[in-house]
Amino acid sequence: MSRKESRRQMLLRYNKERQRNVLAKPGAHEFVLVLDQLKADFNVSKSFRSAEAFGAGAVHLVDIGPFDPSPAKGSFRKVPAVFHETFADCHADLAAQGYTFFILDPDGATSLCARPLPRKSAFVLGHEEFGFSFAAQDYPHLERLSIPQFGSVQSLNVSIAASVVMYEYVRQWQSDQSCKLKTTAPINK
C-alpha cells in the first residue's frame, strides 16, 4: 500500500471513530488527560487506550490533528474526546468545572508519589520534543509533577507517563474492595 493510500485509510478510520466518539461516556473517575500539541502518532491513541483502562473522565486534545485510532483498540470510541484549538480554551473550560491542573515535567519539584491528588485533577502532557504550546509563566497555578526515575533516561514516552499518572490517581482514589485479588484457587508459593 502506498503512503498516500495508507494516509487515506487512516483518515477514514479516524473520521469513523470520531463520529462514534460522540456516544462515549465518562469513565469511573473524574480525572482528565490534556494532551497538548502531541504529534498525531501512536502516543495519542495509546493514551486513549490507557485512559479507558483507568476510567478517565475524558481526554482533552489541544491542537492535535487526525490520528490513527487503531492502536487505541476501540478505546477512542469509549472515552470522551474534547477538542480545543488552544490551551487557553481548554484551560478555561476545565477551570470553570473546578479542575486542578498538573503538568508532568521531568524537572518538576514535586514527586507524583508525594502529592495527594484532588478528585478533579487535569494532567497536562506536552510534546516530547517541543514541550507545551503555552508559556508556563502565563499559568503559574499549574503544579509541576515529576515521575520518580532511577535510570539514565531523562523522560518517559508520553503515553507511558500518562499511564503512570493515571495509575497513581486510581491508586489514591480506589476503594479497598476494588483492588482485592480475585482468585478461584489458592496461590501456590
Domains of the chain: 26-174 (3.40.1280.10)
pLDDT attached to residue 178? 56
Cα gap 137→126, rounded to integer Å: 15
Cα gap 125→162, rounded to integer Å: 7
Given pLDDT bands bounded at 50, 70 and 90, which one contains residue 163?
A: very high
Three-class DSSP category at 155: coil
Q: What is the pLDDT of residues 38-88, one digit of tens each?
A: 987 779 999 999 999 999 999 999 999 999 988 888 899 999 999 999 999
Say whether pLDDT at 34 is over 70.
yes
Tracing cell 490551551 back to the chain, one arrives at 87
Tracing cell 485512559 back to the chain, one arrives at 51
Give the least confident one: 1-5, 58-62, 139-143, 156-160: 1-5
pLDDT attached to residue 129? 85
Name the range with the highest mean pLDDT among 23-37, 125-139, 174-188.
23-37
Cα gap 177→166, rounded to integer Å: 19
Cα gap 95→64, rounded to integer Å: 21
Under 8 Å CB-to-CB from 176, ≥6 apart: which residues?
none
